[in-house]
Structure 1
Amino acid sequence: MTKVLVSGFRGSMGTQACKMIETDPELELVAVYSPNLKTTDAADYGLPTDCKVFNQLADIQTDADVWVDFSTPTGAFENAKFALDHNMVPVIGTSGMTEAQVVELEKLAEQTNTKGLIVPNFGLSAVLLMQFAKQAAKYFPDAEIIEMHHADKKDAPSGTAINTAKMIVAGRESKGTEYPTVETLPGARGADYEGVHIHAVRLPGYVAHEEVLFGGQGEALTIRQDSFDRASFMHGLNIAIKNIQKLNGFEIGLENVL
């Protein structure tokens, strides 16, 4: 039985995570955390009576094996440090951490002999898209990314899009071509990650979607994935929680536990 704490349990993803854990006989929801709660009574949130509710990081005392984080970019970093210091494996679904923060967590995991995982996207279709994009970049070094998310997503571009760009760069055998353009409106070409342009869309009605466009001489390739419901991410989260033993230190990407 793997014992789990969920941080950010009141959000859309956190709520889905709690439901998934509660219905899996191999998992146990032992605690939840969210700052500034007015009450710490599990019944007030529809949680099992034996599930502990915490509203202060320093007050957390739990025997959880895994810390699942769906909080905020600023909160997730401090939460991950707390988890590593208390012998819990952080599985972080919150995007927006800086490169420096990730490096610090990698060092802390090594010092504490603990594992951890940042997952830019729990959707299996998104994981496969990134893998396919890396392979395609070998033959199509010219690529751009369009990521589309719900209007409430704060960070742009998404962690998935940034990770996709990194994998495209890693898969290239030559640099993409630089095409001189003049932006008649600033930002028209999107963000630029080592020559891969990323365009972020935020609109109501969307959940999480991504297209990678590759262009070559006389041909083009498009890879697309769509997540229509947040429940679709729970399969990947379930896999991550149950396969933390496959991790080698602190790693990034669901593919590390598949």
Structure 2
Amino acid sequence: MNGTIKVAVAGASGRMGREVVKMVLDDPELRLAAAVDNSSNPIDAGMMAGMGPCGVMMSNSLEQALLETKPDVLVDFTTPKSVVGNTKLAIQYGVRPVIGTTGFTPADIVELDKLCQEAGIGGLIAPNFSIGAILMMKFAAQAAKYMPHVEIIEFHGDQKLDAPSGTSVKTAELIAANRRELRQGNPEEEETIEGSRGGYYNGFRIHSVRLPGVFAQQEVIFGGHGQTLKIRHDSYERAGYMPGVNLAVKKVMTYQGMVYGFEHFID
């Protein structure tokens, strides 16, 4: 990697987007090229993020921003409804997407990988940028080799759009890769209230809790004869994700193809 990396931020006026703008402005190896949000007024992006003026005005057109500013990387924290289109648009303009928004299907990821390969650029879709959360996933995947009975409980605020969370789905995928499908619980059990046993994935269950006052936590519980193992990660503020986003922006410059999961960026 040579020189300063030019970064565009989609969803820049959102809570995660503002943190990304701050992170970029604080790093001399990065330069904020554009800040985009469909609902934003034309305000300086630095002021919008609670910092001093930076000279980059908020834009409401991602395509126009990519065309005019020619960034190296697009960081997207928008919504599941718009993220696939944003990612394709970035690749079309040769901009490396770093995506923290959930809502991709496996078919979407295959298609986006093909588009990245054809464009000769790298990209990242990461359900979670927290280094602690990635370690939680890795530890859970290892534990599944020895304790195959497992359930996941994830906690988020009541305004979260998707359930289960992208982090819990990625955790489930890593666990499933290290254990054969094992249908847990009493084979004759019946739910007296539909859905009370949670969502079914590869023989185990994922439970989504949505409450005001909660930020983001996940607990993976393994059960065995006479023992349980609990692996838990708690996030308390959005700034905790920024070291991971910073690392992703820099490492994506060295990759080709769409990578699914931030764990691939951690040696």
Alignment check: 8 A CA contact 2:154 2:209 kept: yes
Alignment check: 8 A CA contact 2:184 2:204 kept: no
1:29 maps to which residue?
Answer: 32
Name the SS of the counterpart of 2:97 in structure 1. strand
Q: 1:56 and 2:64 equivalent?
A: no
Q: 1:66 and 2:73 equivalent?
A: yes
Report 1:83-102 matches (<5 A): 83-102=90-109
1:176 maps to which residue?
Answer: 182
Q: CA deviation at 1:43?
A: 7.5
Distance (Å, rounded) in 2 between the aligned partners of 1:106 and 1:51: 31
Report 1:175-194 matches (<5 A): 175-179=181-185, 180=187, 181-194=189-202
Alignment check: 8 A CA contact 1:247 1:257 kept: no
Name the SS of the counterpart of 2:117 in structure 1. helix
Distance (Å, rounded) in 1 between the aligned partners of 2:233 and 2:46: 38
Q: 1:116 and 2:105 equivalent?
A: no
Alignment check: 8 A CA contact 1:21 1:29 kept: yes
2:17 maps to which residue?
Answer: 14
Distance (Å, rounded) in 2 between the aligned partners of 1:109 and 1:209: 32
Q: Residues 93 and 246 (structure 1 numbering): CA distance in 2 closer, same or farther, change over 3 Å?
A: same
Report 1:1-258 matches (<5 A): 1-39=4-42, 42=45, 45=48, 48-60=53-65, 61=67, 62-172=69-179, 174-179=180-185, 180=187, 181-258=189-266
Alignment check: 8 A CA contact 2:221 2:228 kept: yes
Q: CA deviation at 1:54?
A: 2.3
Name the SS of the counterpart of 1:171 in structure 2. coil
Runs of 4+ in structure 1 deviating by more than 6 angstroms, as ranges, are none
Alignment check: 8 A CA contact 2:129 2:241 kept: yes
Distance (Å, rounded) in 2 between the aligned partners of 1:217 and 1:175: 19
Q: Residues 21 and 44 (structure 1 numbering): CA distance in 2 closer, same or farther, change over 3 Å?
A: closer
Count residues with an aligned counterpart: 257
Q: CA deviation at 1:58?
A: 3.3
How many percent identity over aligned positions?
45
Distance (Å, rounded) in 2 between the aligned partners of 1:156 and 1:244: 28
Distance (Å, rounded) in 1 between the aligned partners of 2:106 and 2:32: 31
Alignment check: 8 A CA contact 2:116 2:256 kept: no
Distance (Å, rounded) in 2 between the aligned partners of 1:125 and 1:41: 33
Gaps of 5+ in 1: none
Q: CA deviation at 1:53?
A: 3.0
Distance (Å, rounded) in 1 between the aligned partners of 2:44 and 2:25: 17
Greater Cα shift, 28-37 or 230-239:
28-37
Q: Residues 103 and 230 (structure 1 numbering): CA distance in 2 closer, same or farther, change over 3 Å?
A: same
Gaps of 5+ in 2: none
Q: Residues 227 and 28 (structure 1 numbering): CA distance in 2 closer, same or farther, change over 3 Å?
A: same
Name the SS of the counterpart of 1:25 in structure 2. coil
Q: CA deviation at 1:57?
A: 3.2
Distance (Å, rounded) in 2 between the aligned partners of 1:156 and 1:93: 16
TM-score normalised by L of structure 1: 0.94
